[in-house]
A and B are shown apart, each in its own frame.
Chain A
Amino acid sequence: MKQLIDFRSFYAGIWKENPIFFIMLGLCPLLAVSASLKDALGMGAAFMFVLAGSNITVSCIRRWVPSHIRIPVFIVVIATFVTVVDYSMAAFLPPLHRNLGVYLPLMVVNCILLGRAEAFASKNNIINSALDGLGMGLGFTLAILVIAAIREIPGQGTVFGINILGKNYTPFLIMIMPPGAFLVIGFLMALKNRIGRKNKC
């Protein structure tokens, strides 16, 4: 039964169907920007904006888009929002924009964006599509923040740039370099599997 305002998708996006841990889509930008919490938050916020925005737009125009042309149309919508975020960030938050680098425009091929537009936004009303976008975006942001915390605290001794482990702390450098990212996510996935299995019993 389709309700007018349905929060189920919102909650699902955060936990049960968290895009990173459970559907494992959109990994590329995740590992690249999770070396620092600030960048992770920036990327997460940008992602949420694009996902919510494109979901809303797709939902608005869903009645007028013929089925056989929908994928290219969705791609154009997503690319538009990504470009909006790209240039807005360059204008108002240049340091963040520089840190995110090429991974920001790369969001356009993030499978989650196209996936949600296709699977949800094209079939539901505007409000629910917005909620879905926000929920999934929030889930993505939370996941990326968790990974960033695990990497930044030992790897730089800071939280959002604020030193919390003291001046004499020798950073555990591998955490902020590529191998560290892979190892962290590998262990997190294993942890998720373990929790999943325990719950099944």
Chain B
Amino acid sequence: MLNQSNIGLIFLSAFLVNNILLIRFLGLCSFIGISTHLRSSVGMGMAVVFVTVMACSISWAVYDYLLIPFHLEYLRTAAFILTIASFVQFEEIIIRKKVPALYKAFGIYLPLITTNCAILASAFLGIDYKLSFIQNLVFAFGISFGYCFIIILFASIRERVDSAPIPASFRGVPIAFILTGLMSLAFMGFKGLFRL
């Protein structure tokens, strides 16, 4: 339960203090795979922000206006994942037609997002923390910006690291995890930044 209703603090908490990647361990599969290049990371980051904010809002609405009135809260796992999958599908079709440039920018990352645990987690956490609609919106923004920020930061580091002399066993995924560990260590410094 969040006993802080200040919007700015909800955002900062989701963005920095409880960063979705470095502290909550969510969204890792796509993170490790895509952060090898800066350009794809930017694309993925943007896609994540867009889908998370929209999907979390829709899921919140589904929970509040559909599941609760019918006492179907236990269906939330299935409901949310279907909502997210449908939304991604639907929105891919729309974007392809209306804004082809954006569609090209997102590339293949848009459909890939359905399996990104970060998005489903944001939906769940919004409900668990009993947030209002606006709070949930800000929370989703915070989480997705956290993801976007870290993946871009990380991609920049990785591009440099690739030209460094790394022992053969560590090249690729292992060093990526170790780097993530170091970043996570740095981000732990944000804990206790404010009482949330």
Contacts and interface: CB of A to CB of B under 8 A. Distances in A.
Indicate yes or no for A touching B, C-beta below 8 A: yes
Interface of A: 24-32, 72, 75-76, 79-80, 82-83, 86-87, 102, 105-106, 108-111, 114, 174, 177-183, 185-187, 189-191, 193-194, 197
Interface in B1-47: 22-29, 32
Interface string B165-186: 0011111011111101110110
Nearest to A71: B85
If over half of A's interface residues share one DSSP class (helix, strand or loop), that class is named, otherwise mixed; here it is helix
B48 interface: no
B82 A75 contact: yes
If over half of B's interface residues share one DSSP class (helix, strand or loop), that class is named, otherwise mixed; here it is helix
Contacts, number: 120
B178 A106 contact: no
A180 B176 CA distance: 14
A42 B22 CA distance: 23
B188 interface: yes
Given A75-B82, A83-B74, A183-B177, A194 B169 contact: yes
A76 B78 contact: yes
A179 B85 contact: no
Nearest to A33: B25
Contact of A105 (B27, B77, B171, B188): B77
B184 A197 contact: no
A87 B73 CA distance: 12
B109 to A, nearest CB: 15
Interface in B151-171: 167-171
A114 B81 CA distance: 13
Given A76-B78, A83-B74, A106-B121, A32 B116 contact: no
